Structure 1
Amino acid sequence: MSAGLTSHVLDISSGRPASGVRIELFRLQDGRSDLLRSEVTNADGRLQGSMLSGDDFIPGIYELVFHIGDYFRGIGIELAEPAFLDQVPVRFGISAKDAHYHVPLLIAPWGYNTYRGS
């Protein structure tokens, strides 16, 4: 796999990929949070291509924000208002410009898990 940043979302409460989850990517620097991209997962819970690659793929601090409350509401799950989990931020560092970073998210209405995948 080439250098870059990818992600996917799996709904562990239903045992299937989470299709239609909006994911926003931010770069954090100098006290600012700059939105770089906003994408939506496909039928496999994956994004079409990399969220970050090429000349834009530089070391630094980043944050992915997964809009899982909208996803669960969209598939008919009744959530409390406010939802226990609505937007899940995952902050991480990219230190190697020539590496692949994969940030998957396993979700349920009441919890989530993430890790650096391959």
Structure 2
Amino acid sequence: MTETAIKPGGISIHAVDVAHGVPAANLSVLLIRCDPDKTEIARGQCAESGYFSHPVSDGVGVTRGLYEITFGVGVYYRTNGIVLPEPAFVEDAVFRFGIDRISEHFHIPFKFTPWGFSLFRGGA
């Protein structure tokens, strides 16, 4: 079966501000496929639930390759009235990951504070 005949499983994202114990509503997300050409796949903000609601979650635009997600952590905290040092310790959190089997779903939980973050492939 060719890759074009396989339905992509999608990429879902759930962001939580663990410093304040809340879903990261309005956190900016940019998802780029890095190869074979650099292409923006998704851009937007997380919903009130912290989930990134975008067709990419259902596989739209997902192919085999290397991806990069950028989360706007510094802007998120400043917008929410949190004073950060200038420059902030974490301005943007960038995560690169690969997708080999496009039929699988890739859930990316993002847990963060102004001082660090955790990203991994979760189950969703």
Normalising to structure 2: TM-score of the pair? 0.86
Which of 104, 111, 123 is the aligned partner of 1:106?
A: 111
2:22 to 16, 19, 40: 16
| More strand, by proportion | 1
| Aligned partner of 2:46 among 27, 37, 41 | 41
| 1:35-114 alignment runs, 5 A limit | 35-51=40-56, 53-54=58-59, 56-114=61-119
* Structure 1 residues 20-31: aligned runs within 5 Å: 20-30=26-36
Alpha-carbon shift at residue 47 of structure 1 (Å): 1.4
Q: 2:12 aligns with which of 6, 10, 14?
A: 6
User: Does structure 1 conserve the Cα–Cα contact (< 8 Å) formed by 2:111 and 2:117?
Assistant: yes
SS of residue matched to 2:107: strand
* Whole-angstrom distance in 2 between the partners of 1:55 and 1:41: 18
Runs of 4+ in 1 over 3 A off after TM superposition: 52-55
Q: Which runs of 5+ in 2 are unaligned?
A: 1-7
Q: Deviations over 1:42-81 (max 9, x none)?
A: 1111012443544622110000000011100011110111
In structure 1, the gaps of 5 or more residues are: none
Contact 2:56 2:62 in 1 (8 A): no
Equivalent AA in structure 2 for residue 60 of structure 1? G
In our comparison, the structure showing a higher alpha carbon Rg is 2
Aligned length: 116
TM-score using structure 1 length: 0.90
Residue 23 of structure 1 deviates from its aligned partner by 0.3
DSSP 3-state at the match of 1:70: helix
Mapped to 1, the partners of 2:14 and 2:95 lie a distance apart of: 13
